[in-house]
């Protein structure tokens, strides 16, 4: 494998934790806070004052104290993540009460609702470093981009990484088919067609089919359903918040929805067969993709036409070379036998994926990983 990978993001986030602790006797304020927790996909614990059980105040991922309950929370242990919440925009004593309970933020509803939903969701999900998000794009039709996307996801899951595979190509036939999971239970893209705002990462993960140790978002078998760009943005953002790895199988065309997906990638892999027409087509794809995504790199796929090799392919396109995929004659037979791309630890495809993730781990500074080799990769 040529080049090096220097993107951060290959760390599995902590598991999801409980929802926030709410301390209030204000019925209307409580209704508002419960509504915001529901929007964030979190289940709160509600008390009229600091919890009586030992450690309840300290264990909660965040604490939302109503204006009415501030006096009752004086003397509670100082900790991070305490927020004083109310509705009175002109209360002159609010800052004094915030200092008395050690609040980090003073929030007034409804003005702060959107921000608070994000904070509740982050706290409930135990958000850590966002997922390393890799998109795979074919330089021309039939280049093997979907196969590589599957193999990268399956191999990442096999190595213990939290992994999600997202099919962003509605005309690709459904990437779940490559994994033998077209009948698996779970939600598909049409179920998210009208999503907007924030999706809970845990709720997204739990709703998707589980195949070969990873979660898969693919297309249904019915007529094509238009997915709004806002839905694409919401789904990708939720997937990234989970940490680990997200692999996105992308179409060659760039519409508004694909642009939203590209905007959330850390790295794009452009799969280019070793022939002149494929290189010419890939240059056009690359120029379009790079209008949104800066870091695009070439995966050259053999066999090569006379006089070409993997470095010539990358140089002709003007992008860094990640590595090459050599022919693998038994790949289709293995798929027919039920082994998905990346399901075997042997062969050129498996070697490419193993080296790719090893370099990604080294770039992210994971313990026990080898240093990323020097080469033609972009810094």
Contacts of 52 (CB under 8 A, 6+ apart): none
Q: Note whether residue 6 is domain-resident.
A: no
Q: 295: which 2 tokens?
A: 């870091």
Domain boundary among 107, 125, 143: 125
> Which pTM value belongs to this model?
0.73
- The mean pLDDT value for 273-290 works out to 97
Residues 81, 36: one domain? yes
Q: How confident is the model at residue 366 (pLDDT cuts 50, 70, 90)?
A: low
- Whether 300 has a pLDDT exceeding 90, the answer reads yes
Q: Note whether residue 153 is domain-resident.
A: yes
- Please count the CA atoms within 13 angstroms of the CA of 295 that sit on its side-chain side: 17
Residues 220, 99: one domain? no
Domains in the chain, number: 2
Q: What is the pLDDT of residue 10?
A: 32
Contacts of 161 (CB under 8 A, 6+ apart): 10, 12, 244, 245, 357
- The mean pLDDT value for 34-63 works out to 86
Residues 194, 260: one domain? yes
Most confident of 58-67, 112-121, 222-231: 58-67
- The mean pLDDT value for 122-146 works out to 87
Q: How confident is the model at residue 352 (pLDDT cuts 50, 70, 90)?
A: very high
Q: How confident is the model at residue 223 (pLDDT cuts 50, 70, 90)?
A: low
Residues 302, 352: one domain? yes
Residues 249, 284: one domain? yes
**pLDDT > 70: percent of the chain:** 88
Give yes or no for a contact between 203 and 165, defined as CB atoms under 8 angstroms apart.
no
DSSP letters spanning 204-243: HHHHSPEETTEEEE---SSS-----HHHHHHHHHHHHHTB
Report the CATH number at residue 353. Answer: 3.40.50.300
Question: In which domain, by residue range, is 53 found?
Answer: 21-125
Q: What is the pLDDT of residue 127?
A: 58
- Considering only residues 327 and 224, tell me which one the structure prediction assigns the higher pLDDT: 327
Q: How far apart are CA 360 and CA 6, in angstroms?
A: 7
Residues 316, 227: one domain? yes
Residues 117, 149: one domain? no
Residues 89, 138: one domain? no
Closest C-alpha to 77, from 102, 48, 52: 102
Q: How confident is the model at residue 336 (pLDDT cuts 50, 70, 90)?
A: confident
């Amino acid at each position: 494998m040529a080049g090096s990978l220097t993107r951060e993001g290959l760390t599995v986030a902590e598991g999801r934790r409980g929802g926030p602790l709410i301390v209030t006797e204000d019925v209307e304020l409580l209704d508002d806070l419960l509504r915001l927790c529901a929007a964030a996909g979190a289940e709160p614990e509600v008390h009229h004052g600091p919890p009586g059980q030992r450690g309840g105040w300290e264990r909660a991922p965040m604490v939302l104290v109503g204006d009415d309950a501030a006096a009752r929370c004086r003397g509670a242990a100082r900790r991070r993540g305490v927020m004083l919440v109310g509705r009175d925009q002109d209360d002159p004593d609010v800052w004094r009460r915030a200092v008395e309970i050690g609040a980090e933020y003073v929030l007034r509803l409804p003005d702060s609702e959107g921000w608070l939903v994000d904070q509740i969701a982050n706290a409930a999900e135990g958000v850590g470093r966002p997922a390393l998000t890799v998109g795979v794009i074919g330089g021309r039709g039939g280049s093997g981009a979907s196969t590589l996307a599957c193999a990268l996801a399956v191999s990442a899951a096999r190595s213990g990484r939290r992994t999600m595979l997202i099919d962003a190509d509605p005309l690709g036939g459904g990437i779940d088919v490559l994994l033998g999971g077209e009948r698996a239970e779970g939600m598909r893209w049409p179920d998210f067609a009208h999503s907007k705002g924030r999706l809970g990462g845990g709720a997204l993960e739990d709703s998707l089919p589980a195949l070969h140790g990873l979660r898969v978002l693919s297309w249904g078998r019915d007529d094509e359903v238009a997915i709004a760009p806002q839905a694409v943005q919401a789904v990708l953002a939720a997937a990234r918040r989970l940490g680990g790895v997200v692999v996105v199988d992308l179409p060659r065309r760039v519409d508004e929805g694909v642009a939203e997906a590209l905007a959330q990638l850390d790295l794009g892999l452009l799969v280019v067969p070793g022939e002149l027409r494929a290189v010419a087509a890939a240059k056009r794809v690359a120029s379009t993709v790079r209008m949104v995504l800066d870091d695009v790199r070439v995966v050259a796929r053999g066999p090569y036409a006379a006089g070409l090799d993997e470095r010539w392919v990358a140089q002709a396109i003007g992008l860094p070379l990640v590595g090459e995929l050599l022919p693998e004659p038994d790949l289709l037979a293995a798929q027919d036998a039920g082994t998905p791309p990346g399901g075997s630890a042997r062969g050129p495809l498996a070697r490419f994926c193993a080296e790719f993730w090893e370099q990604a781990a080294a770039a992210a500074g994971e313990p026990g990983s080898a240093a990323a080799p020097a080469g033609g990769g972009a810094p």
